Amino acid sequence: MKKNIKVNLDKIFYPDSIAVVGANKVVGTVPYDILRNILDADFNGVVYPVSPRERFIAGIKAYKYVSDIPDPVDLAILVFPSSVTHLALEQCGQKGIKGVIIISAGFKEVGGEGIEREKRVKEIADKYGMSIIGPNCLGVINTDARSKINASFARRMPEEGTIAFLSQSGALCTAVLDYAYAKHIGFSKFISFGNKADVTEIDLLYYLKDDPKTKVILMYLEEITDGPGLMKAARTVIRAGKPILILKAGRTPEGALAAASHTGSMAGNDEICDAAFRQAGIIRCQNVEEMFNIAIAFAYQPMPKSNRIAIITNAGGPGVLATDAAIHEGLELAKFSEETLSMLKKNLPATANIKNPVDIIGDARVDRYNVALTAAFNEPSVDAVFTILTPQSMTEIDLIAREIAKVAHHSEKPIYASFMGEADVSQGIDVLQRNKIPHYFLPESMCRAFAIVYQFSQTRHNVPTTIPTYEDINAPYVEEMITHTISMGKQFLTEDESIRLLKAYGFPVLKTALATTVDEAIQKAEDIGFPVVMKVVSDKIIHKSEAGGVILNLQNKTEVTEAFHTILENVKKFNPTASVKGILIEKMILDGEEVILGLKRDKSFGPILMFGLGGIYVEIFKDVSFRIAPLTEHDAKAMIEETRASAILHGIRGRKPRDVEKIIECLLRLSQLAVNHPSIEEMDINPLIVQPKGMGAYVADVRIILKRE
Amino acid sequence: MKKNIKVNLDKIFYPDSIAVVGANKVVGTVPYDILRNILDADFNGVVYPVSPRERFIAGIKAYKYVSDIPDPVDLAILVFPSSVTHLALEQCGQKGIKGVIIISAGFKEVGGEGIEREKRVKEIADKYGMSIIGPNCLGVINTDARSKINASFARRMPEEGTIAFLSQSGALCTAVLDYAYAKHIGFSKFISFGNKADVTEIDLLYYLKDDPKTKVILMYLEEITDGPGLMKAARTVIRAGKPILILKAGRTPEGALAAASHTGSMAGNDEICDAAFRQAGIIRCQNVEEMFNIAIAFAYQPMPKSNRIAIITNAGGPGVLATDAAIHEGLELAKFSEETLSMLKKNLPATANIKNPVDIIGDARVDRYNVALTAAFNEPSVDAVFTILTPQSMTEIDLIAREIAKVAHHSEKPIYASFMGEADVSQGIDVLQRNKIPHYFLPESMCRAFAIVYQFSQTRHNVPTTIPTYEDINAPYVEEMITHTISMGKQFLTEDESIRLLKAYGFPVLKTALATTVDEAIQKAEDIGFPVVMKVVSDKIIHKSEAGGVILNLQNKTEVTEAFHTILENVKKFNPTASVKGILIEKMILDGEEVILGLKRDKSFGPILMFGLGGIYVEIFKDVSFRIAPLTEHDAKAMIEETRASAILHGIRGRKPRDVEKIIECLLRLSQLAVNHPSIEEMDINPLIVQPKGMGAYVADVRIILKRE
């Protein structure tokens, strides 16, 4: 049956009625705790316990089967053992229930039979047009007063807030809820999506885009199954003004292995994930703390107009640390006007430092904070205020926190705080947190969070998403060549075939000719014009240089003759059985900078493109960039700019600026090629020789590997 | 008068009697609070308040002047206004007091008159052989039961512990004490050393080296005045087995400026500081939290025998995060023996993951933690255990914490814990902290702290500290040349002079000859042997390439003739007034890899040496390393290995391995040169052309800048 995910998710988050299927009376077990949590959260609707054995649970009439419930049911929460979950689910389908949460574990994550169980569950969901969250999850929470539902076995119902939190790990949810509870961090929706058998993180992103209660979306993710889908959804959400923060686990191969045994998932390559997130505008977080540090900055305070900050501190040392961190994060210390300076001078003691960072000295009471805060907020060059406090003997911690909250309440400039310490400052921190002033123990974390918010506010999330396509290509010809080659049982194209493929896609290819005799070689070299390069052509030899099959910069007949013989000898030594089709004669470009363009298929994200400067830059400095195809023009440009070596292309230190436009074009053509021909498994254009600006670039060598038949 | 700093510091930290000079009766003021703190800490000695006005303070008889005290006094704490501090200090000197703490501010940090005041104070201290801590500080704390002294105006007396904390900022101390109090972090000594007018951080390091109560030393530092002294002291302390952790503020120019206005200090260049710390074995921390994360790992737990860890978790997601972090930090997940696996299989539920990381599943109670902990501790391949907990509905947080503490108590393998959350887990964390189990909210921080401890345990802090010196040098000749040049009002040496200088220090210099006519040029080129390089020699031209004054790879007479004229023309265009001494003819090395050796003087650290691969590597990738001269052989090697480009010198991807031994020798000769001739302000050997292994290297160009007269 066709399903409307949005409508179904509404049934899950805003149900009029809930059936807890598999409820029981044993306090401290998941089935009971879920029912109890729903009741304790003061759910705005009707709850029906479903239990074959009990007449009532927690004082509420229980039903034997879902079908016995006399009224319509929006949401069913299944806490049955995994072996019988499909039976209960079938009944839900027949009852016309559209929203389901399966809490139970014992599915894909345990392998074997579990995989089958999960498949069956998904089939039933599709049959009845139901949407399922889970299995193997903690449940969902919606703090919206319209619903107030805690359909989870979490210990706590969080405060209402504007942060949506999604997690593939249920256990992490309990840590996050405990952490957030202590810090008064509220949530709009809190969703543990487990094995995502049916509803995925992508569906949830689209749903949260339209959720007026959600300002910022946080996600813990172990497995990315549909990379392009995730990127598309993320772009849509971000364009709607909602930042997405993701903590992606399984970064290392070992971590991915642990993830595999944990949720039956295989994590992808970490650099690719980095690139994809960047491309989509997703903010990737390093750990849970960083994620919430940034989240509260987005959730609590307005976006800054600029990166010019004022620092107010009662402690010199921490002021220096904050200044260091601010500069490190690319922020600027605002220069105060004469007016502000004289105002500060008049109202602060002579020992105070009235320049930014403002040091109001260790014995500062609330009045001095008030003076400095007022001055900073009134100063036109200041667009955000960072307040620092250490608990010195006279510090009125609580009053100062209240003062900050009061000032913030009336201002459109963001304000952040760092009360350094833990015991004495705790009360003040509590005041800040209740009043939605982002608070950080470390000035360094404060600066970092602000910098991320500032960068997000500055990024134009509306850059054109047009995918350029070239018309001067011959896709059918290429597809036929590939299909033919694969059907012959071969996995790679010869040099000659590769060049024909490149030409069919409009890549600039060097003038070349194939020679089988010395005389022919001399003739062709003269036609092309000296100097030339000579390369062996053989099915058996992929890395031609290693085989001694390439000789550069041949200036005349004699050198060509010599090279011809040398190459044949080298190749014979390297692989005596390799049959040689001939020697390729190629124009030698003298004034060129070598770059590499690459293509690789990834399980999660599909076609990955790579860019880097040739040779040693790639090998030693790993100075390469990745993007997921198809590329926009913006993506292609960004790929190049992201490498440090791009400075060379732009002509540092008297070098010639290179034809970067041509590289962009080549990347875009490669992107089109990658999308059009999924049978190309890997491809290296190495090198693409880039001439000075306006003079083009030439593919000098290429290696194409096809899918195995 | 000669002073014995060690004896004086003993008077400060272990006094039999203390005079609080400038004490008063006003609760909540610094003078009163210090007296009160000394009394409250149950000081093991006699306190004498000194006040011209009061007969008694806090129930204790007060004296008008220090000289009125009938008994000997070990330590005087001065809380007088800065304008009269010198008078009180003079009296202390006459009384024979050897230990002084000056709390008062208003000295160097305020500039002007303050600088004079600080000088006077230092003079008096030297006159009487006194040692002074401060001025402008919070005071000192010694938790040792033999003394129990809180000679500070901090709000709290910390617990006893094995961490010594030193800070240049008094205000940061209050934050640290508050933070440590909440986490049950104890200190051996807690020292706010302020402006360090007399006793410096270096004196304190030597003192703490011999303090049996101190295991690890932490320092917050803004200004390094004696870099080499700090390095030497650090090396001595570290060789005694005590790690030193430093948080160095003023990293950025702006931060340094804030530091300047704060303590009247000028911070040094950050990369240099990084290099110096690394060279001395100091662990540089990024922020206060990281510093304590690492400190408790050192202070609480034994050193690990290897980097093979076991992870035990009740939560899959955090287990994955910990695995990621561990691998990222260079740790290894131990492979369990069959015995351990079968023991775990027998005693854990079937759903548990018995492979490392061990997932004992969300409903784990204390018994499962016991099973896994016991197994991990008994497993021979495991040398450290990381325990992770998230607060799930059945989690016995408190009991599990006690269990971890109990197990740790009986084991010689280190154990670390991460209880993720904040509210519910707080009680468990408290148990861990009281029992000296290093606890981290983030598994990532846990892995990092362990990795630092492991690296420290692996570093051979007893590498030879011998400074190699070459005898085949002619230092007087070079010194005379430099002195002569400076006396002529010149600031740099010509090419010719530079080469003579290099030769006098045994550097391998290319065969060269100076030519003033074309015929001479041809003659000299033939003598040296083609191909050659030609370079202009002129006092007015330092960057010869930019002036078009260098032409490479000249193969024969004709090319030499042409080059001679071209260079003269280029130079004339570049600077028509530049007088040309001649053209230098130099052997051209074809098969060479170019590296740069540099020398620079730093205010704090003295002679800094630099190493990097030539050209683009330095410019774009900043792939250079620094060390402070004089170098040990180990330092010189480490400098090279630290650069990523060193892979090229070792011969990656079929490249020839280079004569790295010769580079080391050149670095050591440069080090000797730098130390012998302080008038060399800057120097670049660029490039040093390094030939294949065993074939040597040649200085191809050098630039030497001298001190201004």
* A693-697 LR contacts (CB < 8 Å, sep 24+): A693/A656, A693/A657, A693/A658, A693/A659, A693/A660, A694/A659, A695/A659, A696/A508, A696/A659, A696/A662, A697/A508, A697/A592, A697/A595, A697/A658, A697/A659, A697/A662, A697/A663, A697/A666
pTM of the model: 0.90
Is the predicted pLDDT of residue B518 greater than 50, yes or no?
yes
Residues B649 and B690 sit within 8 Å (Cβ to Cβ): yes
B481: nearest Cα among B464, B466, B496 = B496
Q: Do B262 and A359 touch (CB under 8 A)?
A: yes
Q: pLDDT at position B260, please?
A: 46
Q: pLDDT at position A77, please?
A: 97
Domain boundaries, chain A: 5-297, 301-458, 475-587, 593-706
Q: How far is it, in rounded angstroms, from Cα A159 to Cα A181?
A: 7
Is the preceding peptide bond at A135 cis, omega within 30 degrees of 0?
A: yes
Where do we find the tokens 């059918």? A476
Average pLDDT of chain B is 92
Please state the rounded mean pLDDT for residues B338-342: 97
Predicted confidence (pLDDT) per residue in B190-247, tens digit: 999 999 999 999 999 999 999 999 999 999 999 999 999 999 999 999 999 999 999 9
Structure token digits, residue B519: 């015929």
Please state the rounded mean pLDDT for residues A620-642: 92
Q: Do B324 and A155 touch (CB under 8 A)?
A: no
Q: pLDDT at position B691, please?
A: 92
A127 touches chain B (CB under 8 A): no
Predicted confidence (pLDDT) per residue in A232-265, tens digit: 999 999 999 999 999 999 766 666 555 544 333 3
CA-based nearest distance A380→chain B, Å: 21
B195: nearest Cα among B165, B226, B168 = B168
Give the residue with greater pLDDT, B671 vs B619.
Answer: B671
Q: pLDDT at position B422, please?
A: 95
Q: Do B175 and A30 touch (CB under 8 A)?
A: no
Give the residue with greater pLDDT, A246 vs A271.
Answer: A246
Is A301-458 the same fold as A5-297? Answer: yes
Percent pLDDT > 70 in chain A is 96
Return the CATH number of A593-706, one of 2.60.120.10, 3.40.50.2300, 3.30.470.20, 3.40.50.11900: 3.30.470.20
Structure token digits, residue B169: 């900022």
Predicted confidence (pLDDT) per residue in B648-674, tens digit: 899 877 778 999 999 999 999 999 999
Q: How far is it, in rounded angstroms, from Cα B454 to Cα B330?
A: 10
Q: pLDDT at position B80, please?
A: 86
Q: pLDDT at position B26, please?
A: 92
pLDDT band at A689 (very low <50, low <70, confident <90, very high): very high
B574 touches chain A (CB under 8 A): no
A490 touches chain B (CB under 8 A): no
Give the type of residue at A626.
Answer: F
Chain A: residue nearest B329 by CA? A252
A324, A394, A425, A543: best mutation site toward chain B, by most B Cβ within 10 Å?
A324
Is the predicted pLDDT of residue A410 greater than 80, yes or no?
yes
pLDDT band at B451 (very low <50, low <70, confident <90, very high): very high
Q: Which residues of B touch A623 (CB under 8 A)?
A: 621
pLDDT band at B12 (very low <50, low <70, confident <90, very high): very high
CATH superfamily of A301-458: Succinyl-CoA synthetase domains (3.40.50.261)
Q: How far is it, in rounded angstroms, from Cα B56 to Cα B65?
A: 13
Please count the other Cβ atoms lying within 10 Å of the Cβ belonging to residue B487: 9
Residues 534-573 of A with CB under 8 A from B: 546
Please state the rounded mean pLDDT for residues B352-369: 94
Give the type of residue at A76.
Answer: A
B100 touches chain A (CB under 8 A): no
**Lowest-pLDDT choice from A54-58, A247-251, A521-525:** A247-251
CA-based nearest distance B624→chain A, Å: 13
Q: Which residues of B touch A392 (CB under 8 A)?
A: 155, 171, 174
Q: pLDDT at position B265, please?
A: 34
Chain B: residue nearest A653 by CA? B619
A321 touches chain B (CB under 8 A): yes
B443: nearest Cα among B315, B260, B576, B280 = B315
Chain B: residue nearest A420 by CA? B175
Please state the rounded mean pLDDT for residues A443-472: 91
Is the predicted pLDDT of residue B463 greater than 80, yes or no?
no
Q: Which residues of A touch B249 (CB under 8 A)?
A: 317, 320-321, 324
Average pLDDT of chain A is 92
CATH 3.90.1150.10, domain B302-458, yes or no: no
Q: Which residues of A touch B262 (CB under 8 A)?
A: 316-317, 319-320, 353, 359
A562: nearest Cα among A598, A543, A534 = A534
Which secondary-structure segment (H or E) carries A256? helix A253-263
Structure token digits, residue B477: 């000749």
Strand, helix or coil for residue B629: coil
pLDDT band at A548 (very low <50, low <70, confident <90, very high): confident
Q: pLDDT at position A260, please?
A: 46
**Lowest-pLDDT choice from A236-250, A342-356, A529-543, B1-15:** A529-543
CATH 3.30.750.24, domain B511-588, yes or no: no
CA-based nearest distance A331→chain B, Å: 11
Our CA angle for B59, B60, B66, nearest 5°, is 150
Residues B643 and B275 sit within 8 Å (Cβ to Cβ): no
Please state the rounded mean pLDDT for residues A353-378: 95
pLDDT band at A154 (very low <50, low <70, confident <90, very high): confident
Where do we find the tokens 């250079």? B624
Please compute, for residue B419, the number of CA atoms within 13 A of its CA located in the half-sphere on the CB side: 27
Structure token digits, residue B579: 């007088």
Q: pLDDT at position B591, please?
A: 79
Residue in B259, B289, B333 nearest the CB of A320: B259
Predicted confidence (pLDDT) per residue in B304-314, tens digit: 999 999 999 99
Residue in A110, A220, A320 nearest the CB of B222: A320
Query: Any residues with CB less than 8 A from the CB of A88 and at least 6 apart, and which?
Result: A21, A22, A66, A76, A78, A80
Residues A598 and A609 sit within 8 Å (Cβ to Cβ): yes
B421 touches chain A (CB under 8 A): yes
pLDDT band at B256 (very low <50, low <70, confident <90, very high): low
CA-based nearest distance A171→chain B, Å: 5
Q: How far is it, in rounded angstroms, from Cα B495 to Cα B537?
A: 6
Residues A499 and A514 sit within 8 Å (Cβ to Cβ): no
A29, A79, A320: best mutation site toward chain B, by most B Cβ within 10 Å?
A320
Q: At the topology level of CATH, where does B5-297 sit?
A: Rossmann fold (3.40.50)
Q: How far is it, in rounded angstroms, from Cα B691 to Cα B698?
A: 8
Phi, psi of A382 (to 5 degrees): -95, 130
Q: How far is it, in rounded angstroms, from Cα B536 to Cα B249?
A: 46
Strand, helix or coil for residue B327: helix
B262 touches chain A (CB under 8 A): yes
Q: Which residues of B touch A320 (CB under 8 A)?
A: 169, 222, 249-250, 255, 258-259, 262
CA-based nearest distance A645→chain B, Å: 7
Q: pLDDT at position B266, please?
A: 31
Q: pLDDT at position B656, please?
A: 86
Q: pLDDT at position A113, please?
A: 92
Q: Do A426 and B182 touch (CB under 8 A)?
A: yes
Q: Identify any residues that bridge with B353 across adjacent strands, giving them in sequence order.
A: B359
What is the full DSSP assignment across B644-658? TTHHHHTT-TTPPPB
Residues 263-282 of B with CB under 8 A from A: 263
Q: pLDDT at position A708, please?
A: 81
Predicted confidence (pLDDT) per residue in B108-158, tens digit: 988 889 999 999 999 999 999 999 999 999 999 999 999 999 999 887 899
Q: How far is it, in rounded angstroms, from Cα A21 to Cα B87?
A: 85
Is the predicted pLDDT of residue B268 greater than 60, yes or no?
no
Residues A102 and A132 sit within 8 Å (Cβ to Cβ): yes
CATH, range A475-587: 3.30.1490.20
Please state the rounded mean pLDDT for residues B66-93: 95
A392: nearest Cα among B41, B155, B157, B35 = B155
pLDDT band at B255 (very low <50, low <70, confident <90, very high): low
Give the type of residue at A177.
Answer: L
Is the predicted pLDDT of residue A11 greater than 70, yes or no?
yes
Percent pLDDT > 70 in chain B is 96
Q: pLDDT at position A259, please?
A: 52
Q: How far is it, in rounded angstroms, from Cα A173 to Cα A165?
A: 9
B247: nearest Cα among B229, B224, B279 = B224
Chain A: residue nearest B420 by CA? A175
Q: Which residues of A touch B155 (CB under 8 A)?
A: 391-393, 424
A312 touches chain B (CB under 8 A): no
**Residue A342, CA distances (Å) to A336, A339, A350, A377, B697 in order:** 10, 5, 12, 15, 63
Is the predicted pLDDT of residue B264 greater than 70, yes or no?
no
The torsion region of residue B599 among left (phi > 0), alpha (psi -120 to 50) and beta comes to beta
Strand, helix or coil for residue A272: helix
Q: pLDDT at position B263, please?
A: 34
